[in-house]
Amino acid sequence: MAIKFKLEPAPTFEAHVPVPVPGARPERIRFTFKRRNKKDFLAWLAKFVSNPTAPGAVAAQDAEAAAVAVASGVAEAPALTEDNELATTMDIVCGWELTDPFDEENVTKLLQNYLGSGNAIFLTYLRENGQARLGN
């Protein structure tokens, strides 16, 4: 019996993100993320861990090893900053289940109105894309 497993996965995947809501439990919102293969994902993630201004940054030559450690859950993921939060979110997400259109203006509203939402999105992406990719 053949299993339904594709060697060429879909270019996107969906995952629920626990968006922090002040005074309440996090709201689970389904986002559609852009999938990256292992090579592209590690190169993309290496940009964050080798950023000289980021806390816990590493030397550029060690960035891929650090990216593997972050993606596999061995090392802590870098936090997004005000400077890269919107660009990073737009780079990894291509849709959501909200009735509001997914565009830069509405993503900015989400990030400004729900502190911590950018990091929640980023960490969900790292977990879902990274560990799924590295586990295969």
List, for the chain, all residue ranges whose pLDDT scores fall below the cut of 50: 52, 54-61, 133-136
| pLDDT at residue 6, rounded to an integer | 85
Which alpha helices (DSSP H) does 6-131 contain, by range? Answer: 38-49, 63-71, 85-92, 104-113, 117-125
Per-residue three-class SS string for 61-90: HHHHHHHHHHHCCCCCCCCCCCCCHHHHHH
Measured distance CA(12)–CA(4) in Å, rounded: 17
Could you read off the pLDDT of 83-105 as tens digits, one per residue? 789 999 999 999 999 999 999 99
pLDDT number for residue 58: 46
- CB burial string 47-61: b at 16+ within 10 A, e below: ebbbbeebeebbeee
